[in-house]
Amino acid sequence: MESIGREELDVIVVGAGNAATCAALSARENGARVLMLEIAPEEAKAGNSAFTGGAFRVVYHGAEDLARLIPDMNETELRDVDFGSYTEEQYFEDMGRLTQYRCDPDLTEILIRNSFEAGLWMRSKGVRFQLGLGRQAFRVEGRFKFWGGLACHIWGGGKELMKGLHARAARDGITVLYETPAIGLLAGDRGVEGVRVRHAGRLHDLRAKVVVLACGGFEANAEMRARYLGPNWDLAKVRGTRFNTGQGLKMALDLGAAVAGHWSGAHAVAWDLNAPPFGDLDVGDRFQKHNYPFGIVVNARGERFLDEGADFHSYTYAKYGGEILNQQACSRGRSSTRKSSICYARNTASRASPKKRPTASRRWPSGSTASIRAAFW
């Protein structure tokens, strides 16, 4: 640690999940000297990324595109699958209607127009992909068809995703300091000039030309959940890591960073009541409870409280956890109503029911960023 503290660094990345490791790999690819900081011990590294099921939404125009991401598709898959397509226009439409056109137009355009190339880049860094023939496909007239635009999944889910990326980071000579929480940003005449960290009980100031905060949200912080999301959110169980306590957001806000996004909204899913308070890496996302596409959901009084058929599961599941939490809030304290619990995974834009679609004049356009911005601001 002492030698690293004296070393001249180009980039410090706070976090060790998918976003953080990809940022570190990209910086290293471009010649930067990179250091990653991870609050968790090594056996619990990678934040919420390690808990993902692995669905990877990407623009593609048929089997040939998917074959570039999944070159090891077998003859059975090639014969039995109707690959279809998922175009930029469909992706823009989905992002627009599901967020009521509140998603950031510039970031949304970057996400969508670069999604396929991003997948190819991740594959070059050791990430393997597979066809989404499990939860995201059904057999129709003898052939599998994908629904919800999710033809591509990460092989092995979040654990294999992070195993591959961290193996590449080690190969590229990127150092990761575990059990090293960042506790503050170092400000100077040119802005942020480094990070103050705690390592082995001691404080250290690490300086770099660039600091990247990729250290997650505040879902593991019950006090912040209640403050920003509202009553009873402190009771929610956490789908992912116990280490996403919002410290990165606090550091940025303390330094005067601008805020954005939907602070009172959350990605929340139906979760097993008997699940532990935080995620279990051996179980991953398999505590989820959402078979509603094939039935109805009722509370302890036998009442339906959501529209199970509003859209494909992949477009609705992340908002129904909040609906379940509302049922708990209305239970007058009766524990018998707590048929399932929920997990909050991250802040996100609100999900709107597809039945409340905007008028034609407010549908997502296919033109420039400027026209997209005008469509929903």
The pLDDT, as a whole number, for residue 347 is 36
pLDDT of residue 369 exceeding 60, the answer is no
Q: For a pLDDT cut of 70, what percent of the chain falls above it? A: 85
pTM over 0.75: yes
Q: Computed over its alpha carbons, how large is the radius of gyration of the chain? A: 22
pLDDT digits (tens, 9 = 90+) for 266-285: 999 999 989 999 999 999 88
pLDDT of residue 124 exceeding 80, the answer is yes
The pLDDT, as a whole number, for residue 365 is 43
Which comes out higher in pLDDT, residue 197 or 263? 197
Which comes out higher in pLDDT, residue 369 or 133? 133
Which of 122-136, 177-191, 286-300, 352-366 bottoms out in mean pLDDT, i.e. has the lowest? 352-366
**Neighbouring C-beta atoms of residue 32, cutoff 10 Å:** 16
Q: Where are the alpha helices (DSSP H) in the chain?
A: 2-6, 18-29, 63-69, 75-80, 88-98, 105-113, 115-124, 157-171, 222-229, 247-254, 313-329, 369-376
DSSP, residue by residue, 206-225: EEEEEEEE----STT-HHHH
pLDDT digits (tens, 9 = 90+) for 197-223: 999 999 999 999 999 999 999 999 999
pLDDT digits (tens, 9 = 90+) for 283-320: 988 898 877 777 888 998 899 999 998 888 888 999 99
pLDDT of residue 371 exceeding 80, the answer is no
Nearest of 150, 151, 145 to residue 131 by alpha carbon: 151
Buried-state track 271-300, b at ≥16 Cβ within 10 A, e below 16: bbeebeebbebeebbebbbbebeeeebebe
